[in-house]
Structure 1
């Protein structure tokens, strides 16, 4: 017999005062109630109940055993309630990874709003631009810019990561407005520094189906685009950055779009999580919220 089931039936019999009442409550026969109690008594080597034809009462051992079983069953019910609760609403710590610039300017404000909606959630957000293996590093959800071909990952497409070029009005008044991508070679471009200085920064622009590529060079490089944005706003050159971040600066007059007749670089973006198992409610909730916020229009 299953010990846990026998404990449950024993506690019910003690609570209700008879095998017959316990049998009715559990939907089994009185003889089956008796078998479960005898199973426990045989296992423990002592009587748990004094039984007569008219009444039953707990022995001293039975009273102590009843108290512990009662406590154990309450703990099991509480554990199941927690598990059920976590299946129906997001709860717990969620480890998320995202690219540095997107994470800083777009994802971080979204995360704070998400936490405001779900008081039982915690987000552990890591930002970097290196390739991350979610299985090895324990990330449950990732935002990835670029194509996703790994079959061990479930990928949901988001709106493309669209880039545009901008500079301050002061810089353009001093150096002039470039009319074509080729003219960027005569300008100070605020280039994003990759992990290796030997990797050149190349900007691609498209117009009428034709793509032109130019190597971005200038007096300043950085692996932090926020630094490049600050430099651009202070008139030190032309920066290439995400359109959704730069548009408010353009509208405020702090920056001017460069090469507005050209489409800047665009890369696919996805929210991903490991395949192979059903995602938890917290993962499902966060992924759906990301899709609603950053999905295709």
Structure 2
């Protein structure tokens, strides 16, 4: 028999004063009540209750065991309540992994609004373009750009991560406006680099089903696109970056989109989380909000 169940039957029998009363309260037969208590006494090697046809009395050991059982059962109830509350109310720490550029420019404002809405949640946000193992590193939510490898993670699609090309009005006034991707070879391009400066930087464009690849050059490379964005607004060259971020710079007049007739690279983006029969409310609410904000339109 399950020991916690037997402990509950024992406590109820003591509180109600008889096996019959306990059986009626729990919904089992008096004989089953007796079996639960007998099982406890056998496993402990002690007598918990002295019973006669008219009354029952706790032994000294039975009294001490009864008090401890009440505390144990109370802790079990508290644990169940906590688990249920965490499933129904967003709370606790949420560990998230996201790509550097998307996380810095797009995700952080969303996180700020989320934390304002759910004051019982704290977020530990890791921004990196490296591969992470969510189970090994303890991440509960991951945002990934690119084709997904086979895994046990559950994925929900977000809007594709689209890249466009921009430059500052001052740069274009001085150097002219490229009309085709091929024109970029004579311009200063701000290239995103993973640290290997010997690798050529290639920008890919498509138009009417045709793809064109251009090897761009420039005097500035960086593995931090925020630095490249700042360089572009300062007039140092042409940058390729995420459409949603550059749209704000374009609206503010700090940058101008070039080659609008050509589509830049577009990669799938997904939010992933480990499988769970009942994800906690913090995970559900964060992912639902993320899909609403960044999902396919």
TM (norm. structure 1) is: 0.90
In the alignment, does 2:239 pair up with 1:213?
no
Listed one character per residue, the Cα deviations across residues 18-42 of structure 1 (whole Å, up to 9, x for unaligned) are 2221121112233332333333334
Q: How far has the Cα of 1:17 moved from its partner? A: 1.8
Listed one character per residue, the Cα deviations across residues 227-253 of structure 1 (whole Å, up to 9, x for unaligned) are 011111111111111111111111111
State how many pairs are aligned.
296
**Match in the other structure for 2:107:** 107
After superposition, the Cα gap between the structure-2 partners of 1:230 and 1:81, relative to the gap in structure 1 and judged at 3 Å, is same
In the alignment, does 2:274 pair up with 1:263?
no
**Match in the other structure for 2:79:** 79
The 1-side partners of 2:232 and 2:9 are apart by 74
Q: How far has the Cα of 1:119 moved from its partner? A: 3.1
The 2-side partners of 1:209 and 1:34 are apart by 79
After superposition, the Cα gap between the structure-2 partners of 1:138 and 1:3, relative to the gap in structure 1 and judged at 3 Å, is closer
After superposition, the Cα gap between the structure-2 partners of 1:138 and 1:5, relative to the gap in structure 1 and judged at 3 Å, is closer
Match of 1:219, SS? coil
**Match in the other structure for 1:184:** 184
Q: How far has the Cα of 1:258 moved from its partner? A: 1.6
The 2-side partners of 1:64 and 1:105 are apart by 61
Q: How far has the Cα of 1:76 moved from its partner? A: 0.8
Give the root-mean-square deviation of aligned CA atoms: 2.2
Q: How far has the Cα of 1:74 moved from its partner? A: 0.4
Q: How far has the Cα of 1:3 moved from its partner? A: 2.7
**Match in the other structure for 1:118:** 118
The 1-side partners of 2:36 and 2:271 are apart by 52
| 1:1-297 alignment runs, 5 A limit | 1-274=1-274, 277-278=276-277, 280-281=279-280, 282-297=282-297
Listed one character per residue, the Cα deviations across residues 30-75 of structure 1 (whole Å, up to 9, x for unaligned) are 3332333333334444433343444333333222111101101101
Contact 2:195–2:222 at 8 Å: present in 1 too?
Answer: no
Q: How far has the Cα of 1:135 moved from its partner? A: 4.0
The 1-side partners of 2:270 and 2:193 are apart by 23
After superposition, the Cα gap between the structure-2 partners of 1:279 and 1:104, relative to the gap in structure 1 and judged at 3 Å, is farther
Runs (5+) with no aligned partner, structure 1: none
Q: How far has the Cα of 1:274 moved from its partner? A: 4.1
The 2-side partners of 1:261 and 1:141 are apart by 36
After superposition, the Cα gap between the structure-2 partners of 1:89 and 1:52, relative to the gap in structure 1 and judged at 3 Å, is same
Q: How far has the Cα of 1:136 moved from its partner? A: 4.1
The 2-side partners of 1:95 and 1:268 are apart by 22
Match of 2:271, SS? strand
Q: How far has the Cα of 1:151 moved from its partner? A: 4.2
Listed one character per residue, the Cα deviations across residues 128-186 of structure 1 (whole Å, up to 9, x for unaligned) are 12233434444332222111142434332221111111111111122222222122122
The 1-side partners of 2:42 and 2:273 are apart by 51
> Which is worse superposed, 96-105 or 197-206?
197-206
